[in-house]
Amino acid sequence: MTGPAYLEHLDGLALELRRGAVVLAVLSQLGEEQYGYSLKKLIAASGLEIDEGTLYPLLRRLESQKLLTSRWRVEDGRPRRYYKISAQGEKTLRALAAEWREISNSIARLLR
Amino acid sequence: MTREKANDLIERYLYKAGEELPAKQRDDVKAELRSLLLDALEDRAAEAGRLVDEELAVEVLRDFGKPEQVAERYRPPGQYLIGPRLFPVYIGVAKIVLIVLAGIFVVSVGIGALASPWRFPELFRPASVWDVIESFTGLAFVNLAILTIVFALIERFADTRPESGKVDWDPQKLPAVPVKADPERISPGDRIFKIYAIVALFLWVNQFPDTLGIWVFFGDQTRVIRFTEMGMQLPVVLLNIFWGLALALNMWVLRMGRWTKESRWAEFGLGLYGAAILYLVLVSSAFTGPEASELAGGAWWQWPVEMLRVARADLPRLGRILHAVLTFILGISLIEAVVRLVRILRRYPVW
């Protein structure tokens, strides 16, 4: 496989690899209330770019799983939906973070 | 190149995305998307050191992705026989089908009861009631199975899911938000119900020709008065061509999401073809028997009862009634064709 087809395939694999990590990144940054765009910038500042099309629906999904709570707030004359991690979300974050460290260590050993 | 134009583009984008979102969360998701798009737009304008304009809005919308794709991401993930986009329509159509079937059964049982020489207690013997329930359940299952297959095929082949991955598209080509409802916009449920009806009729005529007729329940007996017994000739090949064309037309309109000039003309032509088939049936069939009004001494509401009395003794006599019904349907078809023609010429003038 070469050329654009290969790049597309690689993109798909990379996307799969990042999918789980994105949930962890989002949960980790919602100790304080954030709205979608501010959260995207906050995560991007640490070097992880998340596509809008992935991040915003994910927030909704995590909320429906009771891992986040949300409310509408008007700021600078504009209504925005703010998200914050829930108690259940914090518990999940601790478990996922431990899992992540374990995977990360194992992969590091495998790649050595 | 003003903020108004940028806002207009965003509203068109939200309108398009909203059409694809589940009704329950539509307004809420649209409100959130609006705030996110405006945040991104202002941020981009600040980075570029200029005021918000249409060009920046185009960039932001391109990054967000096609509205259909964005809406798709707000749906639960997974693989489906019938996806979340079609599922509410499927449930709606299934309900209509069951209500229509139940209606037909109630009428059939009613006619059977009126025509039966039995009295009240015999009519409602457990065996009779059970027979009706069994027949209804069987027919309901068959119809739901056909409906499910039709929906699964639409899900598979009508390509109702937007493309995945980054797609190059032009936000400036988004249609304007309509000021009033678009009269040519279709209801997917309506189209799918028609597709289902076409498939069900096709299967009925081709697979179960012996059951083609009027179904009547006499207490614990079920009787089919076949159309052929009434002297009617069915041009099955012509009917199959008609259903094939009707199926193609409905799939096309479903895929387009609205009627167009071409599909309206196709609908008109198909209507005429259908009327021609009906005319052919009327002239080629040897309907025999007395006039309908002679059967029951003139009172039309007694015809169904009389039909059944006649049905037991002398089936071909029903031909006259069938002839009258088919002539009436032909008349309605021709009036409908004229109405369609007027509508096409008013909406899409040819001169």
Cross-chain CB nearest to A53 (options B31, B35, B65): B65
For B185, residues 6+ apart whose C-beta sits below 8 A from its C-beta are B257, B258, B259
pLDDT tens across B188-222, in order? Answer: 778 888 888 888 888 888 887 877 777 665 555 66
B60, closest residue in chain A (CA to CA): A52
Picking from A7, A22, A37, A49 by the largest number of B CB atoms within 10 A of its own CB, the best residue to mutate is: A37
Residue B26 has pLDDT above 80, yes or no: yes
Write down the pLDDT at residue B289: 45
pLDDT tens across A77-98, in order? Answer: 889 999 999 999 999 999 999 9
Higher pLDDT, B234 or A90: A90
- Could you tell me which CATH class the domain A3-111 is placed in? mainly alpha
Higher pLDDT, B99 or A110: A110
Provide the 8-state DSSP code for B224: E
pLDDT tens across B278-293, in order? Answer: 998 888 877 664 444 4
Retrieve residue B127's tokens. 């065996």
Retrieve residue B341's tokens. 């023609």
Do A81 and B31 lie within an 8 Å CB cutoff? yes
Strand partners, A80: A73
Which candidate, B15, B7, B17, B14, places its Cα nearest to that of B54? Answer: B7
Residue A42 has pLDDT above 70, yes or no: yes
Contact A43, A29 (CB under 8 A): yes
3-state class (DSSP) for residue B258: strand
Q: How many CB atoms lie within 10 A of CB A39?
A: 21
- Residue B2 CA neighbour count, 13 Å, CB half: 3
A54, closest residue in chain B (CA to CA): B73
The ipTM value here is 0.83
Q: Where are the domains of chain A?
A: 3-111
Do B43 and A37 lie within an 8 Å CB cutoff? yes
Helix axes B26-48, B54-64, angle to 10 degrees: 120
pLDDT tens across A47-71, in order? Answer: 988 888 889 989 999 999 999 999 9
Do B38 and A78 lie within an 8 Å CB cutoff? yes
**What is Dmax (Cα atoms) for chain A?**
53
Q: Give the percent of chain B with pLDDT over 90.
A: 14
A54 touches B at CB < 8 Å: yes
Q: How far apart are CA B131 and CA B109, in angstroms?
A: 11
3-state class (DSSP) for residue B86: coil
Residue numbers of B between 73 and 132 with CB closer than 8 Å to A: 73-74, 76
Strand partners, A73: A80
Flag the least confident range among A100-109, B31-40, B109-118, B133-142.
Answer: B109-118
Q: How far apart are CA B39 and CA A30, in angstroms?
A: 19
Task: Kindly report the nearest CA distance between residue B267 and chain A, in angstroms.
Answer: 39
